[in-house]
Structure 1
């Protein structure tokens, strides 16, 4: 059985005549008759009856006509869909971006997608890496950036970049400034009993800092908990608390020179950024295009020079 036989059979059924069907198909009558006969032999059923008044469907033919039309319609729909996707990317794409990277990447991504792919409807979702990973697995988000490797089954990760974390305080914190090296670094040991504002325990950043403190034997004094990155920096401006943040998270607050910023060393606190995908759900062509734009934007931001100690995975 092949598509040509199905097309010939449907044409004869609609025209109620092999002669008329052959004219519509621009195929000789013997060729049409031969293909219909081969189809009937394979199905082991008579599909048509040839009468003096024309060609009519048998009960078996009536039943098979529905299947034949469905198969041909599905093929036509597939052709139309693939042609549309080949000419330009079309469709809705939902991308997840953590809050600490949102200011750096979200609006530039929207602008660039509108410029390069006007037929793509882009939706951006922000949240904690663990939440984003779950949404990707559930199919609510097509792909997204996450910190580390969230413990979610059914996901694949592509490691993109690493960034160092910094201790951030108000610019007038002279006691903290005295503990910094000439290069602007501060030893992790100086976090001992320092008043800190950190996200809640479910936040990946909090887990990284606490795990390093445990390994280094440093006692942390977490005086305030705030989950939103934009609130962390604002709180630091107005209080004596210090925060542990990435430079990307500070970018939303304008001039980073408004803060006292010291890279944490001995040891360095490093955070990784990966793209997460659902293992069993391939990306659409539109999603792949948006992913490529996002990668380019991330690389371009690092090349600007402000994002010090952020490096792409080679």
Structure 2
């Protein structure tokens, strides 16, 4: 049974004639007759009686007519509802953004969603990348940005961009760092980091794992004096001590700290590259409303990238 058969059946019932129904539907009479016959065979009842005064519904046909009309009316209502959503997105969307990107993106995302899609209620959750990934899988949040270096069961990743990490230190303590830089562009070799006292996130943090992997590859041990997981506190510690930290330029953007207070050196040999991905639950497709928010988030990231401050970053087109 299909919708075409139901449409043909209703047309014949209303016109009381297969010929008139075919003319109304702009198809051939045999095509209508064939579909009605297939429908009767599937239902195992006779739906029409062919009389001299027309094609008349049997008692079973009259009963089935009410069901057929409900089915088509329900389908029409569904189409109308979906068309309405195409014009105005409505609903609640929860987005996850890692702490280092949250100051850069969160308020702009909320503002843009309210401006472009006033029917959408948006909630932004900030946290460690690993925690966000788990919350996407269990449905606590709809989708989010994560830092990914490997696949995770239950999660699909789409690469948005790659960014390099930098050494950051208070300007009052920058001379020692500058003396280690290999050129006027403030590039510092990774091997030289062994001489720098550091404040870093704990080992469960993705950034720390990435840095430790590079450290092992170079064959040095980092001098981590303090561990803090909140990147705002990392920078506060940098300003209050002789310790430096390793972060992305995005972590400095929109923080209420004057960039004149922080000196940054690009880490090279090797550069530490971090992948920024959008993540979705593998078994839960995004709603149209969530997709709309995702598009806005992607545009915000592209706008920031095109502004020129995000040095040594590459965007995935």
Cα distance change of structure 1 residues 88 and 209 upon mapping to structure 2, 3 Å threshold: same
Give the alignment partner of residue 228 of structure 1, picking from 227, 230, 235: 230
Q: Deviations over 1:224-244 (max 9, x none)?
A: 111111111011100121110
Give 1:91 deviation, angstroms: 2.2
Aligned residues: 294
Give the RMSD, CA atoms, in angstroms. 3.3
Q: Which residue number corresponds to residue 51 of structure 1? A: none
Alignment pair present for 1:264 and 2:267:
yes
Separation (CA, whole Å) in 1 of partners of 2:120 and 2:224: 44
Cα distance change of structure 1 residues 254 and 301 upon mapping to structure 2, 3 Å threshold: farther
Give 1:210 deviation, angstroms: 0.7
Verify the 8 A CA contact 1:94 1:142 in the aligned structure 2. Answer: yes
- Per mean C-alpha deviation after superposition, the further-off stretch among 107-116 and 184-193 is 184-193
Name structure 1 gaps, 5 residues minimum. Answer: 11-21, 49-54
Separation (CA, whole Å) in 1 of partners of 2:213 and 2:313: 21
1:66-85 paired onto structure 2 within 5 Å: 71-72=71-72, 74-85=74-85
Give 1:2 deviation, angstroms: 4.9
1:103-114 paired onto structure 2 within 5 Å: 103-114=103-114
1:1-314 paired onto structure 2 within 5 Å: 1-3=1-3, 27-29=14-16, 42-45=42-45, 71-72=71-72, 74-149=74-149, 151-173=151-173, 174-181=175-182, 182-251=184-253, 252-314=255-317
Q: Which residue number corresponds to residue 28 of structure 2? A: none
TM-score (norm 2): 0.79
Name structure 2 gaps, 5 residues minimum. Answer: 21-31, 49-56
TM-score (norm 1): 0.80
Q: 2:212 is paired with a residue of what secondary structure? A: helix
Separation (CA, whole Å) in 2 of partners of 1:40 and 1:303: 64
Verify the 8 A CA contact 1:165 1:269 in the aligned structure 2. Answer: yes
Q: 1:132 is paired with a residue of what secondary structure? A: helix
Give 1:149 deviation, angstroms: 3.5
Verify the 8 A CA contact 2:46 2:58 in the aligned structure 1. Answer: no
Q: Deviations over 1:92-126 (max 9, x none)?
A: 22221111111111111111111111112222111
Q: 2:180 is paired with a residue of what secondary structure? A: coil
